[in-house]
Amino acid sequence: MHDGVSADSGQKIAIHNLSKTYTRGDQTVRALSDVNLSFSEGTFVTLFGPSGCGKTTLLRILAGLETHDSGDVSLFGETPQQATRAKNIAWVPQSAALLPWLSIRANVKLSQMVNRAADHLAGVRKRLPEDADQVLADLGLADFADARPAQLSGGMRQRAAIARGFVQGAPLMLMDEPFSALDELTRDAVRLRLLDVWERKRKTVIFVTHSALEAVLLSDKVVVMTPRPGRVHAVVDIDLPRPRGRAVLDSPEFAAKVREVQHILRQGWEADE
């Protein structure tokens, strides 16, 4: 365990002294206070903590969807707004948000086509091609590529949304509790699919969750956040070997790491009391 570190580099995600206050009427909420984090490319990072600790606010700032009051964010040398304009961020939302009139394949390829068109207009180098059918197959959707979203279960639609994120070819994927609407069994299965595809592609991912188990299973680093004001309490390295399949869920090392993360979160709460 170590504190969040600050650094700035074109090869990193670097967040330095980031603060954000919301104002509603005469009330203010300090959603984020002095957040410092730094991650290298290809890291799977989870923002973990209870409701109201600023996870979504931080993710939305990284995505260029929310402003911040002070501090700096560098996404591989770009501001969030520059990265968004250059289509260098893929956003995987809580609900799949697929276009109902398009097939799953067309949904997944749409953002890829939009991104390529944007690259062409901007005169920038083409991004690495991702084979949409292969990514759909990797996520267990090969037989549903021609189906419409309404013909899929919730878990399958969420897998399609994840496939769309990978296929976009953006170097950074931001995932806002993408499994929160799924039942526990489906959630387990989709987590393992995501893990499998990510371990082969190693994109930089920042993932929001309330679940210590999910955070430990997926991540290289778990950012433990505490509320009032939202801030980083600790960054925990998850050094469990990869690839991590279903078997890791039953290992004592996994259980110990989940307990460690939960304990660190409780310490953060108790320090506030």
Ligand X SMILES: Nc1ncnc2c1ncn2[C@@H]1O[C@H](COP(=O)(O)OP(=O)(O)OP(=O)(O)O)[C@@H](O)[C@H]1O
**Of 109 and 187, which CB lies nearer to ligand X in the complex structure?**
187
Q: Would you tell me which residues interact with ligand X (CB under 6 A)?
A: 22, 24, 29, 31, 49, 51-57, 210, 230
CA–CA separation, 228 vs 238, rounded Å?
A: 26
In angstroms, what CA-CA distances link 62 with 100, 191, 216? Answer: 28, 23, 22
CA–CA separation, 249 vs 259, rounded Å?
A: 13
Query: β-pairing, 172-176 with 89-92?
Result: parallel
Q: What is the DSSP letter of 197?
A: H
**Of 148 and 210, which CB lies nearer to ligand X in the complex structure?**
210
CB of 94 to ligand X, least distance (A): 9
CB of 68 to ligand X, least distance (A): 12
CA–CA separation, 28 vs 34, rounded Å?
A: 16
CB of 145 to ligand X, least distance (A): 32
**Of 28 and 151, which CB lies nearer to ligand X in the complex structure?**
28
What is the rounded radius of gyration, in angstroms, for the C-alpha atoms of the chain?
18
CB of 54 to ligand X, least distance (A): 4
Helices (H), 86-218: 104-122, 132-138, 154-167, 184-201, 212-218
CB of 124 to ligand X, least distance (A): 32
**Of 67 and 79, which CB lies nearer to ligand X in the complex structure?**
67
**Of 22 and 101, which CB lies nearer to ligand X in the complex structure?**
22
Count CB atoms within 10 A of the CB of residue 14.
22
